[in-house]
Amino acid sequence: MKTYEKIYQILWEAHDFVSGQDLADQLDVSRTAIWKSMKTLESKGLVIEPIKNRGYRLLLGDLLLPDEITSATGLKVYLNETSASTQEDAKEGIKKGQPSPAIYLAPNQRSARGRFSRPFFSPESGGIYMSLHLQPNLPYDQAPAYTLMVASSIVKAISRLAGIDCQIKWVNDIYLGQKKLAGILTEAISSIETGLITDVIIGIGLNFLVPEFPEDLQDKATSLFTKQAPISRNQLIAEIWNIFQNTPERDLIKVYKEKSLVLDKRVTFVENQLSYTGLATDITDSGQLVVRLDDGQEKVLNSGEISLSSWDY
């Protein structure tokens, strides 16, 4: 572990000022090394308060620590400090033959994309951007409902660690109140020879500690925390994937329905350039949304083809 990472851990656990001399003594390094490490932490988005004769105190932010996440989950973690997209990082890992399951993690993304290749806001610090690579080797009709399972895992993890209640907008968005908190993108790679899904990449973008948003997103997006968080990103990341790995699929699908933002609500969607409105009556175990239209017809919506344009709160 690098010196600045060790300093971060000491400051995180202290919740108060720690003198530069104490840090130097604990880590057996020079005061100059301490000062350089503080500058490194600040460059990574952490806000550290220095006061003469008192030392340093962590005011805002945290540090992504792959080893901590691996220790808590058993998953290999690859951290890319200059990632364009963790989905692309995972695809590159597949090409290199890197083992799975593995998490591809980044502090931010230069070319973040969601469903239908839509761009999304990725601040320099304070977000969680990660992709999980799995190798299921299953036929399409036997593949788990990965997006639903991860959405439920996120909601459960936030509730357990922070006591904050979130909801899920079909099919892949996490909402806090009436604003989007996180999004999920699931991609599958299949083999022509076998017809099996060989690889799945599940990407998550989550606003963890983002105090401010661009003006055009202020009414649409929100952050889990806007001041120093009581938990770290490492803790939340580990909890999400532990829930995902250790909770039966049927239980996560049940949570998905319980936390649905659209079930039993009127929704509007566009299909083949025609707009429809109806009541969302069910979500199937494979993730399809069942809508009873105003004329009595029933529509079964597939997540890969249709996005809701509006829904009642």
- Give the residue numbers of the binding site: 109, 113-115, 180
User: What three-state secondary structure class fits 290?
Assistant: strand
User: What three-state secondary structure class fits 123?
Assistant: coil
Asked if the peptide bond before residue 200 counts as cis, ω within 30 degrees of 0, the response is: no
User: 158: which residues sit within 8 A by CB, 6+ positions away?
Assistant: 164, 166, 224, 236
Q: Write phi, then psi, for 220 (nearest 5 degrees).
A: -115, -30
| C-beta separation of 292 from 308 below 8 A | no
Which helix (H) or strand (E) segment is 266 a member of? strand 266-271
CA atoms within 13 A of residue 186's CA, in its CB half-sphere: 18
- Give the residue numbers of the binding site for biotin: 109, 113-115, 180
Token pair of 42 as six digits = 């600040």
| C-beta separation of 258 from 92 below 8 A | no
| C-beta separation of 97 from 76 below 8 A | no
Q: Residue 83: beta bridge partners? A: none
Torsion of CA 23, 225, 110, 35, to 10 degrees: -10
| C-beta separation of 170 from 308 below 8 A | yes
How is 230-243 classified by DSSP, letter by letter? Answer: SS-HHHHHHHHHHH
∠ at Cα 125 (122, 130), nearest 5°? 60
